[in-house]
Structure 1
Amino acid sequence: MTSLPTRFDEALIAHGPTPEYPGRMRRFGQMVGSWAAKGSRLDETTGEWIDRDFVWMVEFILDGRAVQDVEVIASATHPSGFETVATTVRVYDPFAGAWRVSYFAPTLGEYCQLVATPYRHGVRQEGTRTDGRPIRWNFTAITPDSFNWEGWVSADEGATWQLVARTEATRIR
């Protein structure tokens, strides 16, 4: 009998995409690695844009059937010197032919569910925010060394959209 892993990371992180549908795994698999990210978010209460720098790390998980990312920021108050502020799990659903996306950002109180499909030369993720408003998250201008990400929200069930977040990322690993 083969011994089972005893470390969480050994059981979770995969070394590549599943061989069952490697082409489909490329959609988010192309972003596996670490990225220096410069972003800004709109404070919808004040209308002010708030800049932030972070590292966006992406890995295959669950035997290569999913991709997970984490957003990490520097923190002078955390003992490790950094804080993991958000994570997204993207699982390919072969029955639906789409990606199921779950985003968690406990410090922001955001928990979003989306479905991702191809969009132009990138990926569009559509779903709802914690407050119930429709959202669109777009990965665009994806190259081996960079990508852009935009977050949009609608206050009128998708008739109009407002840009509320944007990020430019450059590969560091």
Structure 2
Amino acid sequence: MTTTSVPGFAETLIAPGPTPEYPGRMRRFGQLVGSWAAKGSRLDESTGDWHEREFTWIVEFVLDGRAVQDVEVVDVPVSDTHPDGRETVAMAVRVYDPHAGAWRVSYFAPAIGEYCHLVATPHRNGLRQDGTGTDGRPIRWNFVSITADAYSWEGWVSNDEGATWVLVEHNEATRIR
């Protein structure tokens, strides 16, 4: 193989669709593949204030269709660092684990110091992701409503090892691709 025939990173990472090995399981997060215009609000736990935000959420099959990866992109002022006026602020990789019958989720938002690991399972008409936040507290991230053209997502945290939960983030999104 010559260097001119070596595929690029994106071409190697992004898959055209789900693996045929377990198509039903891949639909759980695979139904979110595409691009989404999202509006959300986050709770500042120190002040109790909610802060609004808008972002684009882009989701693709990766790793030969055995995983789903997403990136969260926000508009920023054009600069040398961001010549296109966009910044990728977070990403998650969701890999189906056939041995556990669940999805393993890793989320990274380095600019705000968030690194979370969760396990996702079906829940009611959506998906529940349970894990631990960077600060060690239990977290629960739920897709509470998913349709072909929209979803709602809630982020919860527990200060008492899961006895009670506090809503700290809510997002609503519509499909743009």
| 3-state SS of paired residue (2:90) | strand
User: Could you tell me how far apart the structure 1 residues matched to 2:60 and 2:9 are?
Assistant: 14
Asked whether 1:136 is paired with 2:140, we answer yes
Identical-residue share of aligned pairs (%): 73
Look up the equivalent residue of 2:144 and give its one-letter code. T
Q: CA distance change for structure 1 residues 146 and 5 in 2, over 3 Å: closer, same or farther?
A: farther
Task: List structure 1 runs of 4+ shifted beyond 3 angstroms.
Answer: none
Question: How far apart, CA to CA, are the structure 2 residues paired with 1:163 and 1:4?
Answer: 50
Q: Which amino acid aligns with 1:119?
A: H
| 1:111-156, Cα deviation, whole Å (9 max, x unpaired) | 0000000000100000000000000000021100000000000000
1:12-54 Cα distance to aligned partner (Å, 9 max, x none):
0000000000110000000000000000100111111010000
AA partner of residue 28 (structure 2): R
1:18-97 counterparts in 2 under 5 A? 18-76=19-77, 77=79, 78-97=82-101
Give the TM-score of the pair, scaled to structure 2. Answer: 0.95
Q: Any gaps of 5 or more consecutive residues in structure 1?
A: none
Question: 1:108 — aligned with what?
Answer: 112
What SS class does the counterpart of residue 141 from structure 1 fall into?
strand
Question: For residue 54 of structure 2, what is the amino acid of its counterpart?
Answer: D
Alpha-carbon contact 1:88-1:102 (below 8 Å) kept? yes
Match of 2:155 among 151, 156, 173: 151
Q: Distance in 1 between matches of 2:5 and 2:60?
A: 21
Matched residue, 1:121:
125
Change in CA separation of 1:31 and 1:5 when aligned onto 2, cut-off 3 Å? farther
TM score, norm. by length of structure 1? 0.97
Across the aligned residues of Structure 1 and Structure 2, the Cα RMSD in angstroms comes to: 1.5
